[in-house]
Structure 1
């Protein structure tokens, strides 16, 4: 396992500890259990606990916290729910973890403008529960019940991105506390603007390294009048992916197209007690009017059949659709269950749709050549897929083999015009790939970071190498 970067930690300043206690009372903690919880995520990197944890409630509290930490030259690490897969919340240089989970109010639902204003600790499931009865929903679905602040910071997407886009397209504006404690408000409630630099897009995907997000204005979408879901098995992965490519190129407005390979289906059947055919499989969902959904489904079924599709099974009732997508969302944990005690190194490449079949097939061949256990899943409607490489955390040779496999997968995707990360972000683990992908542009990223955070206190060690 490649270790998370660790640097020698200075003793935590007693004066800062006292100031945090005075300002936040029991919401500031240095208890070992709380610190340990906030130094662990879903990545394969070693845990790295902060020196203290503060549970914030308001933007003003975040301002006070950032200014106090800046005075003592102590790092600040934002924390949502800890579902990161790239070590974003690991306090590799110590510091204060800012927990936003109690900043979880839905502030303003504007149904007529199809937007909502929320605090960053609101989770996607919480938001959709609050929207019940409004005729609107928030479609971005990364699988985990992540916080909207964390999803914005990592530019998350997920299963619905093929139709509804990513957080980049769905964040209209935000409020952020910058490294010097100043508060900026970007964007707004208008659907478009040409006013100055697009600071909203700069902060979306910045992974907590440029500012701490304390409020969000989010785009909402109409609930579809009708929806249906289906699964279809294929003789091989290439046939399944070819069906996806043809569906996208034909312009069928599917809401979701998800790929799971044979090994992943086997894992899902064991974990979720399903009885899916153990073959490469696509999960579909269609949104629209009843007539539109029926037409989409017929078209896709014909394309699937032309590519050898088998057992095109429908899930039209809400409970059946929920059960089907719950099984898909549990694919990560189902895969871990294939090898109890393992941890997952999860790849996250995304390639142009025309290169998808070749890339997935070559990835499967690479995995098979190593002998490692690694199911493949993917939001293939937008060219994004993951290999979940299962490793023994204590086996250095096996971890090195998995890292080498990941490197080959990324290098192939880059050669095809793709990216090293479609949705998980850079964090700790993909910094070298960032340089490989963007070259000299990384120097400009570094310049932006140094201009906005000259003392490198906001989530240091993440995204840009050498900071």
Structure 2
């Protein structure tokens, strides 16, 4: 990989570890500056390091340069310039990914899209809004205050909406409101050669369409390997009349997850149902200053009319009681609910605090709801046998859960055990007709598992799509496929 720094009187000095990159010249960098201005192009080592990794354990692979476009026209011109020179291109949003999706493993140019941060078009009567890639989910919901609407897809991190589309993000509300796949109506995408594509037609925002191939669905979850998502039109939802949250402990993992399955089978329209095992609850108590029982626990939330929520709570309470669950700890006022869910959202940092100085690797699998009790019980046994610290937290309402595995990056034996455990967990999910990733994506670490999951024919079809849209393999190369 080539490393760059600015030097007085000599432009760029190149430090090479391997074959030289023919495209990496002063002239090339000058062509990028001509599009966005000198202040919006950086080859400084510290900037490149910041853009060479996400929150995963994958090693940092810095790009050779970072650019900050302000408009879709600039993204198009920058992409065309890179394409003509054969320079790899890596989209960058907030950097909150967990599968190494922003690592520049072949070097290249990182496109930091955070300064494209406008809410472009709000249609309250149609429940839609169009946003640029720098708009985060919290910023959008702040913008929507007073409109009676909100955007419910909540992966925990304050990720950008277009980044969430690129990774097909999910989160705590998916059981009721769906994932990004169900909430994206149209995308504006800059293709690798600079052409601008509107996946559903320019400015179109119908709730559904049967016109042609589902190009929007193709780019949702593409992880930056097919193009730059520069605008997303998403569904909005009405803020419910009443919201009630609750916490309930259980004597065992199986009892908690059995309750989840039975709540869903009963058709109760629960908004959130999150599982935290006893290790995760202990970590959350210490990190967030709480005093919940350290046992397998469900965090639940109910949305609807006042009467409807009351009925949901009563029906859920009966199911919980039949599985020896504790009495609900309630939170109805906004402040109390925010405090309760803050503990859940801080689970990643609470887990890190369990083992100061260690890094964390968050696994991510999803299975059919009926197999959830079995896979969680087997996973707990595997954790104990592997002698690993791995709190479990999950969006169990849609069969998705994570082990946050603590790992000493200097301990090769422990790193090996973490890797082997993660692969066993993924293959256990595949054996139960599930998927190796429910929301984090494939990125760098799960490419072989993707092949095992979908098979050679499906994988070769994906490869042909990639080759058709990105024949030079310049868009985020080395990811997914």
Q: 1:86 aligns with which of 73, 93, 99?
A: 99
Q: What is the root-mean-square deviation of aligned Cα atoms in Å?
A: 0.9
Q: Deviations over 1:174-218 (max 9, x none)?
A: 100111111110123111111111100000000010111111110
Post-superposition shift, 1:301?
Answer: 1.1
Q: Distance in 1 between matches of 2:346 and 2:266?
A: 30
Cα distance between partner residues in 2 of 1:144 and 1:240: 25
Match of 2:158 among 145, 158, 182: 145
Please name the residue that 2:295 is paired with: 279
The residue number in structure 2 matching 1:379 is 395
| 2:448 aligned with 1:436 | no
Instruction: Give the match for residue 176 of structure 1.
Output: 189
Q: 1:114 aligns with which of 99, 104, 127?
A: 127
Counterpart CA distance in 2 for 1:22 and 1:181 is 16
8 Å contact from structure 1 (residues 9, 93) kept in 2:
no
- Corresponding residue for residue 370 of structure 2: 354
Superposed CA deviations along residues 252-301 of structure 1, whole A, max 9, x for unmatched, are 00000000000000000111111111111000000000011111011111
Structure 2 residue 112 is the aligned partner of structure 1 residue 99? yes
User: Could you say which structure has the greater relative contact order, defined with CA pairs below 8 angstroms and 6 or more residues apart?
Assistant: 1
Unmatched segments (≥5 aa) in structure 2: 1-16
d(CA) in 2 for partners of 1:257, 1:378 = 9
User: 2:351 corresponds to which residue?
Assistant: 335
C-alpha distance in 2, partners of 1:72/1:100? 21
1:17 to 9, 18, 29: 29
TM-score by length of structure 2 reads: 0.94
Give the match's secondary structure for 2:459: helix
**SS state at 1:311 partner:** coil
Q: Which residue number in structure 2 is paired with residue 3 of structure 1?
A: none
Unaligned runs of 5+ in 1: 1-6
| Number of corresponding residues | 458
Q: Distance in 2 between matches of 1:372 and 1:192?
A: 46
Q: How does 1:47-446 map to 2 (within 5 A)?
A: 47-187=60-200, 188-440=204-456, 441-446=458-463
Residues 1:452 and 2:469 aligned together: yes
Q: How far apart, in 2, do the equivalents of 1:443 and 1:392 lie?
A: 37
Query: What is the match of residue 4 of structure 1?
Result: none
Deviation at residue 8 of structure 1 after TM alignment: 4.2
Q: Could you tell me how far 1:311 is from its partner in structure 2? A: 3.3
Structure 1 position 22, deviation (Å): 2.2
Question: How far apart, in 2, do the equivalents of 1:323 and 1:32 lie?
Answer: 39
The alpha carbon displacement at 1:18 in A equals 1.1
> How far 1:396 moved relative to its partner?
1.3
Deviations 1:411-462 (A, max 9, x none): 1110110000000000001101000101121111011101110000000000
Task: Give me the whole-angstrom Cα distance separating, in 1, the residues matched to 2:416 and 2:450.
Answer: 20
Asked if the contact 1:76–1:98 (Cα under 8 Å) also holds between the matched residues in 2, the reply is yes
Where does residue 57 of structure 2 map in the other structure?
A: 44
Q: Find the aligned partners of 1:408 and 1:28 in 2 and give their Cα distance.
A: 43
Deviation, 1:163, is 0.1
